[in-house]
A and B are shown apart, each in its own frame.
Chain A
Amino acid sequence: MLTFTPITLDANHGDEEAVLVLRAERLVAIASRLGEHHGGAAGEWFVEMVFNDGLRIAGLRCATLEDMTTLIERG
């Protein structure tokens, strides 16, 4: 089961709201919430980084964290 721990990115691009995506206390991915300057994608969750090479979701966007759970569970 995935859990999402809120964090703040020390970023200078404005997308500071983020979550650590964890499974069984292991860090799976980091996702940030896109700000207004991303136009139509604003508010979506963006997968910044993935730590398992087999999980090819880095760079993808999801409307909600539930959608991200589905994406990660599907692999």
Chain B
Amino acid sequence: MQANDNDVFGALIRKLERLGTLDDEDRAAVLALPVTVAQAGNNSYLVRERGSAGDCYLILDGYACRHKLSSNGGRQIVSFHMAGDIVDLQHLLFTVADHNIQSITDIRFARIPATALRDLARRRPMVAEALWRDTLIDASIYREWVLNVGRRDAKSRIAHMLCEFAVRREAAGLGSPERFDLPMSQEQIGDATGLTSVHVNRMLRALADEGMIARDNRDVQIVNWSSLRRTADFDPIYLHAA
């Protein structure tokens, strides 16, 4: 599929306009990008560590994660991504991937050549600023995740992950923060929070027992937002409204 795909450019322009102010010439330049749409099944690798990185990916539907693997096979998920996210902007400037990007559901995405996006950023300063802001927000989210994994207890970590997912999902226009289907398995939540799937199950149960959430398998309803937010130590300032 080629560049006349309206939903691709709609998603990309919406994303960039959440990050900065674009004028008509900026939007026209974005519309001229050579974009290819593709899809992949659950657990597909979009990017592999040590692989060459010539493209950037905009998620159109579905969810993905970034992760790194230790030499003994342990996996640390460092972020979850959803529709509207450009998952590897760092490949505008780096040619070798230093982490993996893998789908956690069936996924549809737009592939944008890094050279074209780099050229766009050089020609259109406001687009460059929006992309720069996106990478800074990514870094802010990483800092929060280090704090989450390193210094919060198990229940707070899970509560924090739920709060962030709900807020980011709403900001991306994917629906209410009050109720959603969690796309990630308990094992994946464990890999994102430094816990075993047994502990994840216990903590989700504890949050439900304490009246903060209600859940049926992956269907999660946030019943008491203020209590969940307090338990999570969640302050959305680090998301910078992304």
Residues of A within 8 A of B (CB): 12-15, 34, 37-38, 41, 46, 56, 59, 61
Contact = CB atoms under 8 A, between A and B. Distances in A.
B198 interface: yes
Interface string B133-168: 000000000000000000000000000000000000
Nearest to B197: A41
Contacts of A37: 201, 205
A56 B198 CA distance: 17
A3 B2 CA distance: 66
19 contacts: A12-B206, A13-B202, A13-B205, A13-B206, A14-B202, A14-B205, A15-B202, A34-B198, A37-B201, A37-B205, A38-B198, A38-B201, A41-B198, A46-B196, A46-B198, A56-B72, A59-B196, A59-B198, A61-B198
Interface residues of B, number: 7
Contacts of B205: 13-14, 37
- Secondary structure at the B interface, as helix, strand, loop or mixed, is helix
B141 to A, nearest CB: 26
Contacts of A15: 202
- Secondary structure at the A interface, as helix, strand, loop or mixed, is loop
A34 B198 CA distance: 8
Nearest to A46: B198
A46 B197 CA distance: 11
Contacts of B198: 34, 38, 41, 46, 59, 61
A72 B72 CA distance: 18
A57 B202 CA distance: 19
Interface in B180-210: 196, 198, 201-202, 205-206
Contacts of B201: 37-38
Nearest to B154: A13
Given A14-B205, A34-B198, A59-B196, 10 more contacts: A12-B206, A13-B202, A13-B205, A13-B206, A37-B201, A38-B201, A41-B198, A46-B196, A46-B198, A56-B72
Nearest to B196: A59
The 4 A-B residue pairs whose C-beta atoms are closest, nearest first, are A13-B202, A59-B196, A46-B198, A38-B201
Nearest to B203: A13
A28 to B, nearest CB: 18
B199 to A, nearest CB: 8
Interface in B19-69: none
A13 B201 CA distance: 9
A73 B72 CA distance: 19
